[in-house]
Structure 1
């Protein structure tokens, strides 16, 4: 089990680092920018329905908030799954 987890961890590290190392001048943008560009190509006079209340000072800060949002969501989902699994084990041992 430990070896399997170690191999999975190393695979994640490799998948993360390979694009950064081999694609040095690449721009890793999100889907939002691509969607906005496509919409303006299709409908030149398109205007968004609303604008952001606050714009992060840089792309790095925006990425940080995106990652934090994902981490918080993963923690909530992980806690729920762990709670349910523990609850099921407890029910099985009590009967």
Structure 2
């Protein structure tokens, strides 16, 4: 199996792992935003939010998108660190 074919399979598996929970898992995940909203309603019941979300998504989708964003960011940071490390090693050899 060629290197590009392996990369395509790995990419397909990663995408499947990211999308499958969105499709097959029907669960409720709570977060800090929900807890903060409850606390604000307890402290100041007449409070009116000054902004509203552009789109309402289910909580599990929101959590999954947040995790995906963190994973992409970690991947980019890891790539940049590896790139600089490789350049440093190459310059040491020359």
Unaligned 5+ segments in structure 2 are 1-27
Mapped pair 1:40 → 2:41? yes
CA root-mean-square deviation: 1.8
Cα drift, residue 64 of structure 1: 1.9
Scaled by the length of structure 1, the TM-score of the pair is: 0.58
Unaligned 5+ segments in structure 1 are 1-26
CA gap 1:93/1:49 in 2 versus in 1, 3 angstroms:
farther
Aligned partners of 2:29 and 2:63 also within 8 Å: no
Structure with more contact order per residue of length (Cα contacts < 8 Å, sep ≥ 6): 2
Mapped to 1, the partners of 2:40 and 2:64 lie a distance apart of 26
Q: Say which SS state the counterpart of residue 92 (structure 1) adopts.
A: helix
State the 4+ residue runs in structure 1 displaced beyond 6 angstroms.
Answer: none
Aligned partners of 2:41 and 2:47 also within 8 Å: yes
Mapped to 1, the partners of 2:75 and 2:50 lie a distance apart of 32
